[in-house]
Structures are given as C-alpha cells and as structure tokens.
Amino acid sequence: MSSQPNTESRRPSRIYLKVALVTETWPPEVNGVAHTLARLVEGMRGRGHHVQVLRPHQPGNPQVIVVDPAELDAPMDERALPGLPLPGYSGLRLGLPAGRRLKAWWTEDRPDAVYIATEGPLGHSALRVARRLGIPVASGFHTHFDGYARYYGVGWLTPLVRAVLRRFHNRCDVTLAPTQVLATHLAEYGFERVRVMARGVDTRRFSPARRSSRLHKQWRAGGAGPIVLYVGRLAPEKNLDLVVEAFRSLQDRLPDARLVLVGDGPSRVALQRAHPDLIFTGQQVGQALAQHYASADLFLFPSTSETFGNVVIEAMASGLPVLAFDTAAAHEHVLSGVSGARVPYTGDPNTDAAAFVTAAAELAQAPEAWDEMGRYARTRARGLDWVEVVAQFETVCMDILKEARDASPAMDG
C-alpha cells in the first residue's frame, strides 16, 4: 500500500458559492418576482452559499443590511442602491445605474456568479460590470415587458422592447425561464442559451387548513353562494374586465355568488366605481393572504401576460379549482375537468374572452364538483417543492462558474 496521505479525503465534499443577486424588486414589495427571489435566497443560504442582494433603496428600510454569519446557515448582505419610484406601480422602485459602486464592491470581494433578475438600468449596469470583470452571469426572464406594451396603448413598441430584452439576455451566459413553453418561445424570438428553472410553492403556508369560516361568512353577507377569488395586481395587463365578465356569467347560474379581488393597483378605483357589489380587500400578505385563498371556493385568473403566475399554484395549494388560460403555470399544472379548467389561448381577444366566459358558465353548472377538483389541485401543488427549484438554481450557478473557469484556466490560480 502507498504511504502517501489520502488528500482526496481532505477535500471538501461540496463547493460553496458567493452569488450576487441583482433585482429592482425585493420584499416587502409584493409581487411574484420579489417572492421568487426571496425563496431562492433563503434556499441558497440554507445550502451554505453566501448571497449578496443588490436592490434599489426602499423608503423606510436600511440602506445596507449585513447579517451576522454566526446567526445563519450562510452569510448574506443586502445593499441598497439609488432608485426612483416606478410610475404607475405604487411601492415599486426603478434602480439607477450603479456601475462604479458595483465595480468597487466586486473587485474587492469578487462573486463567483451574478444573477440578474430584472432588466432595468441597475440590471444593465450590473451586466456591464460583470462582463468587464469576467464574472459569469445568469439572468431571469421574470416579466413579459415586451407584451405589456399593448395593454398601455403602445403595442407598436413591442418589437423594440423585445429587441432590447433579447440583446440584454444574449449577453448573459444563461437565461432562466420558468416553463418549457416560454423557453421555446424565447428561442423562437432569437434568445440564446435559455434553460428552464421551475417555480415552487409553500404548501405549508398555502393550505386548505387556513380556511377562515369568519372570513367566508363575511364575504357571503348572508347569502348561500360560493366565493370566487382573484388575486393579483389590479392593472390593465391582468385582463381584469374578463375577470368580471366571467364572474357575471357564473353569477347568472349562481345568483348568490360573490367575487373577491385581492390586490391593488391603478385599475382599482375604476373597477370599484363600475362594480360596487364586488369585494375589494386590498393587498394581503403572509397568513392573511393564505386565509383569503383558503376561504374562497374557485379561483379565476384570465391574465395572459404572465411568464409563470405564482398565484395559480398558490390557489391550487390552498385547495381551489382554477380557471385560467392554457398558458404559463396553468399549462404546466392545471388539468381540465380534474383540478379546474384550462381555456385554449389563441391570441384573438374576442375569441379568447368568449371561451373563458363559456368555461366559467360551465363550471357554474356543477359547483358540487369544485371540492373534489380542489383536492386534486392541492395534490398536484404538493409536488412543487421549493427545495427542487433551489437545487436547479444552484446547478445553474455551478455550471456557469465551471464554464468560465474552463474557458480561463488562470482563474483557478
């Protein structure tokens, strides 16, 4: 036997990463992107990785938060950079270019990988700095900004916005999309190196066990009908007129049904004036949000602008059947006639709206089937664990770091 020491046994069993995450939205802001990023950071720290979060300054929050590593599984620091309010999006901030600060920080303490979640000015400056320093970069396609143009009367800008997004993402080592369908569409539009990273749901937080009889009774206001729910931003891109139209069709068959809209946004005032019988709860978070989901009976989600739509799987986890277009999360997880109804999406507004309204009316014909559909939805959601999503993200970061080192052996020095 060799007398040489076994150096292999002394090597660490895993590699721990320093990851810089750049985003223009972060809790306590309430939206799907902020929620997803918070879960990724929590999961990566739980796996022993160091995460640095770089985001615009939020009024009322500290400029810099550095967490004591002794208190956590892994260190994290959160740094606020200059930003401005985003017009029309109360509570959200637009990050400003911060190239000098990023270069100074990353030169002094170089991350192994950078993840850019938003394509605003802060994201663009982060990409430029990372490219100059030779740091591998992953980006996320979290929002259909190219598709938003038509909802705000400037649809002619769509090709231009898409070209800007394509140029941005193609300068990254990899772009992460939440579904295979979206990844395929991006590839068709010329986006390169697109990989799928799914989304998860916390089935302990979002659960039928959160149902509140008090809340349900309050919404019914003495009636005996079901509670129909919408959760999301109250804004033009969410197709809210179709929420109301589909509900009215359902209400024709179930007169005591009530529609509850959870969320806030620029469309709220007009909707409340036009439909005073609807219930507007405003924005809900945490346990209150979970109770709102679980205390309803059916979830309507007619948005076609989502890259994923976390609310769909949150509703499923809460035991609700879901009516949605056959896109994004619904395409991946809703099974018509089993856990709700998926409506084919053609891209023709009139055809699609008519089909969605018809599907709502058909569901209203058999409300006694909703409970069983909700149980199937819950079963499906239980398989969507954030642990798997974080593992996918970790693999992506490891892969682009390895590719960068293989391309530049001197980096190992």
For 15-26, how does the pLDDT look when each residue is reduced to its tens digit (9 = 90+)?
789 999 999 989
**Burial classification of residue 147, based on how many CB atoms lie within 10 Å of its CB (0-12 exposed, 13-18 middle, 19 or more buried):** middle
Helix (H) or strand (E) run with residue 260 in it? strand 258-262
On whether the pTM is more than 0.85, the answer is: no
Residue, of 412 and 161, whose pLDDT is higher: 161
Partnered with residue 81 across adjacent β-strands are 56
**Burial classification of residue 290, based on how many CB atoms lie within 10 Å of its CB (0-12 exposed, 13-18 middle, 19 or more buried):** buried
Mean pLDDT over residues 105-134, rounded?
Answer: 96
Q: Express each pLDDT in 391-402 by its tens digit.
A: 999 999 999 999
CA-only gyration radius of the chain, Å? 23
Neighbours of 61 (CB within 10 A): 13
Distance CA 318, CA 210 (A): 8
List the domains of the chain with CATH numbers. Answer: 12-200+386-412 (3.40.50.2000), 208-381 (3.40.50.2000)
pLDDT at 61: 58
Q: Has residue 144 got a pLDDT over 70?
A: no
Of 142-151, 164-173, 315-324, where does mean pLDDT reach its minimum?
142-151
**82, 236, 268 from 90: Cα distances, Å:** 17, 14, 12
Comparing CA positions, the residue from 47, 42, 13, 38 lying closest to residue 394 is 47
Of 58-72, 229-243, 339-353, 370-384, where does mean pLDDT reach its minimum?
58-72
Distance CA 118, CA 124 (A): 9
| Residue matched to tokens 């109250």 | 234
Which SS3 state, helix, strand or coil, does residue 114 take?
strand
Distance CA 265, CA 207 (A): 26
pLDDT at 190: 96
**84, 287, 308, 389 from 111: Cα distances, Å:** 27, 35, 29, 21
Q: Has residue 412 got a pLDDT over 50?
A: no
The angle subtended at Cα 239 by Cα 235 and Cα 244, nearest 5°, is 105
Q: Has residue 299 got a pLDDT over 70?
A: yes
Distance CA 30, CA 264 (A): 10
